[in-house]
Amino acid sequence: EYKDPYQFFNRTFFTQGLKDLLICALKRINKSDIGEPVIELHTNFGGGKTHSMLALYHLFSGNDFSNNKGIEEIIQLANGLSPKKANRAVLVGTAISPGKPETKSDGTIVNTLWGELAYQLLGLEGYNLIAQCDKTSTSPGSDDLVKLLQLASPCLILIYEWVAFIRQLSDNVNVFIPAGTFDTNITFAQSLSEAVKATPGCLLVASIPASDIEYGGTLGKSACDRLQNVFSRMEFAWKPATPDESFEIVRRRLFKPIAEEKLASERDAVCNAFSRFYRDNSADFPLHCKEADYERRLKLAYPIHPELFDQLFNTWSSLDKFQRTRGVLRLMASVIYTLWTKGDKNLMIMPGFLPLAENDIQTELVRYLDDAWSSVIHSEVDGENSLAFNQDKANPNYGSLNATRRVTRTLFLGSAPTANKAQKGLEDKYIKLGSTQPGEKPVVFGDALRSLSDKASYLYMENSRYYFSNQPSVRTKANERAERINDDEINEEILKRIKNNFNGDFASVHIAPQSIDVPDNREIKLVILGSNATHLKNLNDSEAIIECSKILNYRGNSPRIYQNSLVFVAPDKTNLDIAKNSVKQYLAWKSIDTFENFFINFIIINSFSSFIRFSSNTGLVRKVIAR
C-alpha cells in the first residue's frame, strides 16, 4: 500500500498538517512564488515524517489522482493547481555510506550527497555539473547548485535521516572520507537551501529528529542543531497530526470505513449508551465525559474508546522510544487480533480490556519501559498468577466482571510511562473511565481498586492518584530520600571515599584544593580535582583544564615556579554522573538502614521499662510499629 500511489492515498487520512504541506508543495512545484521552498519535518518518533514524505513523493509521480477525494480537495484548496510530474531525488542518510563511493549502472562513481543529488535529478548530465566538487569532496557553491536545479525544475528533493549521515563524518582534516567532512556537509546544507530558494519550481523537504534517542550522540545533536540553524531562516511551519486526527489515522488503517447504514446505526447506539452512562453517573467519571463533545469523540474513535487513544497518544507518546503513530498502530493491531480471535463481545476496546498477559502485547508495551515492568505485570496486573486474577477469583462480585484485572490494566496503561514524572498515575475517576461500560456499576471497580491497594506491592497512592511502580515500597522510599540529598552531601561523601582509599607514592596528595593550598616546591605532588572540575576526552576547555591552569600557573596570587612537580587527576564528566547517582542511592539506603536499626534497638531497650507506659495505649504501639 505504501508503494502504490493510489492505495496509499485511499488509505491516507488527510490531517490539517498534511493538507497544508501538500498545498504548499503544489504551489511551489507549479512555480508559484507563494509556496515555501524549504520544509523541515521536525517531530519525535512516529510523528508523521515518513508518511508526509511518501505523500509528496507520490503526489508528483505523474499519476492521475482525479478520482481521489482527498487529492481533489487539496487541488481545490490550492486554487486549482494540479500535481505535475517532477524530477525527484530521495537521499536517505542511513542507506548511503559516507566512506564507500557508489558506482552507478553507467559507471559513474558518486562520493557525496551532492553527487548523489545531481545524479538522481538529471543522471550523468546533472552529475557533470558538480563532478569536480564530488571528486574532491568539497561542497559546491549555491551558484552551481542553482544551475543544476534550474535544469531539473520542477523538482522535489527529499532528504531523510540527514542527521544519521552527517554524524558519521569527521572534522579531522587528516582523516579522509569520500563523502566530505562534517563542516563541508553543513556548508552543502546551507548552499542547497539557498539554491532551492532561488529556483522556482524546486522544493526541499528534510526530516530532522526531535528526541535525544534519534540524535545518536553528541555529533548527532550537533548536526541536528546546525541543520536547524540553516533551515530556521526559511522553513515552513509544518504541523503533525492533532490527537483527534490521530484517532482517524489509526482507525482508518485498522478498520474498514462504516459505510452500511445498519453498522452506522449500531455504532451510534453504542456511543449514545456510553454518553448517557457518563451523564447518569457523573460523580464517578471525569467532568468532560458528560459533554456533547465527548460523544463526538466516541463516534470518531469507535470501536476504540477515546480514553485508550488518549493514553497512547498523550502519555505513552511522551516516552522517547515510543513512535507516536507507528507504535500505536503496531500495538492496536495485536490487541484487535487477540480480542477478535477470542470472540470478545465488549462494546468498545477500552484500556481495561487490553490482554496484557498475552506475550505479543506485553512485549510491545514493555519494550518502551524498563525490563522490570514485566515482573510487575506477571505478579500484580494480569495473567493467571497475578494478584489481580486471584482477587477476581476469590470475590464473585469482582470475578463476574474481571473488575480487578480491568482496573490493573487501565492503571498500568496510565501509570507505567509516568514512573519518572512528577505527576504519576491516574485519579480513580479515570480508572473507572477506562474500566467500566454501560450496564455495570462503577462502585464495583472502585471497591476492587481499594481492595487491591491494601495488598499490592507495586501499587501506590499519592495526592489522590494511583500508580504502579516497578519497584517495591521500600525502594520507592529510598528513591524519595535520594531526591532530597543535595550535591554538597554527595560531594562530601565522594571526597571522604577518595581520602580513605587513595594510596600513592607522592610527597603529598591534595584533594579539591585551592591553588594556595598546593605548595610550590620540587617535591612531586598529586592534585585530585573536585567534582566541579570535570573533563571530557579531547575537550581542550573543560572545567578540569581551566582549574588545572589556575593551579599550575599560580599559587594564590604568586606565579608558580615548580610547575613540573604537579600531577593532576580529574573526574570524567560522564562517569561522575553515574558515581553521583550511586552515592545518592547509597546515602538514601544508609539513612533507611540507620533508622530501622535505631528503631529496633529502641523497642528492645525500652521494652521492659516502658511496658506500662506503652500498654496504656496499645493503638499507638501498633501505629508506631507499622510505621
Residues 6+ apart with CB under 8 A from 445: 401, 403, 406, 407, 431, 432, 435, 436
pLDDT attached to residue 173? 67
Would you call 337 exposed, middle or buried from its count of C-beta atoms within 10 A (0-12, 13-18, 19+)?
A: middle
Query: Around 407, how many Cα atoms within 13 Å sit in the side-chain half-sphere?
Result: 33
In contact, 511 and 498? CB cutoff 8 Å: yes
- 164 pLDDT band (50/70/90 cuts)? confident
Q: Using CA atoms, how far apart are residues 180 and 176, in angstroms rounded to an integer?
A: 7
pLDDT attached to residue 92? 93
Amino acid present at 393: K
- 624 pLDDT band (50/70/90 cuts)? very low
Name the phi and psi angles at 578, rounded to 5: -65, -45
Q: Using CA atoms, how far apart are residues 452 and 436, in angstroms rounded to an integer?
A: 17
Q: Using CA atoms, how far apart are residues 415 and 318, in angstroms rounded to an integer?
A: 12
pLDDT attached to residue 604? 46
Name the phi and psi angles at 136, rounded to 5: -95, 0
| Residue position matching grid coordinates 462502585 | 443
Above pLDDT 70, what percent of the chain?
Answer: 88
In contact, 99 and 169? CB cutoff 8 Å: no
Average pLDDT of 358-366?
90
CA angle 453, 457, 460 (to 5 degrees): 50
Per DSSP, helices labelled H in 93-181 are 113-129, 131-135, 142-152, 162-166
Average pLDDT of 147-157?
95
Average pLDDT of 225-230?
78
Cis? peptide before 396, omega within 30° of 0: no
In contact, 542 and 501? CB cutoff 8 Å: no
In contact, 401 and 449? CB cutoff 8 Å: no
Q: What is the DSSP string of 457-504?
A: SSEEEETTEEEE-SS-HHHHHHHHHHHH--HHHHHHHHHHHHHHH---
* Element at 259 (helix H, strand E): none
Report the range of poorest mean pLDDT among 47-51, 314-318, 363-367, 471-475: 471-475
Per DSSP, helices labelled H in 368-402 are 373-376, 387-394, 396-399
Would you call 329 exposed, middle or buried from its count of C-beta atoms within 10 A (0-12, 13-18, 19+)?
A: middle
Residues 6+ apart with CB under 8 A from 298: 271, 274, 275, 305, 306, 348
Average per-residue pLDDT for the chain = 85
- 371 pLDDT band (50/70/90 cuts)? confident
Residue 457 has pLDDT above 60, yes or no: yes
Residue 503 has pLDDT above 70, yes or no: no
Amino acid present at 301: A
Q: Which residue has the higher pLDDT, 60 or 259?
A: 60
- At 295-317, the pLDDT tens digits run 999 998 999 999 999 998 888 88
Average pLDDT of 187-208?
91
Q: How far apart are the first and last CA of the chain?
A: 61
- At 382-394, the pLDDT tens digits run 999 999 999 999 9
Which of 355-369, 395-409, 412-426, 498-512 is predicted most confidently? 395-409
- 88 pLDDT band (50/70/90 cuts)? very high
Average pLDDT of 319-326?
76
pLDDT attached to residue 195? 94
Report the range of poorest mean pLDDT among 162-171, 172-181, 316-325: 316-325
Residue 139 has pLDDT above 50, yes or no: yes
- 443 pLDDT band (50/70/90 cuts)? very high
pLDDT attached to residue 266? 92
- At 239-258, the pLDDT tens digits run 667 767 777 888 888 888 77
Residue 115 has pLDDT above 60, yes or no: yes
In three-state secondary structure terms, 362 is helix
Burial of 98-117, coded b for 16+ CB within 10 Å and e otherwise, reads beeeeeeeeebebbbbbbbb
pTM over 0.85: no
- 334 pLDDT band (50/70/90 cuts)? very high
- At 582-606, the pLDDT tens digits run 888 888 878 877 765 655 555 444 5
Residue 612 has pLDDT above 60, yes or no: no
Residue 521 has pLDDT above 90, yes or no: yes
In three-state secondary structure terms, 342 is coil
Residue 621 has pLDDT above 50, yes or no: no
Residue 622 has pLDDT above 70, yes or no: no
- 318 pLDDT band (50/70/90 cuts)? confident
pLDDT attached to residue 611? 40
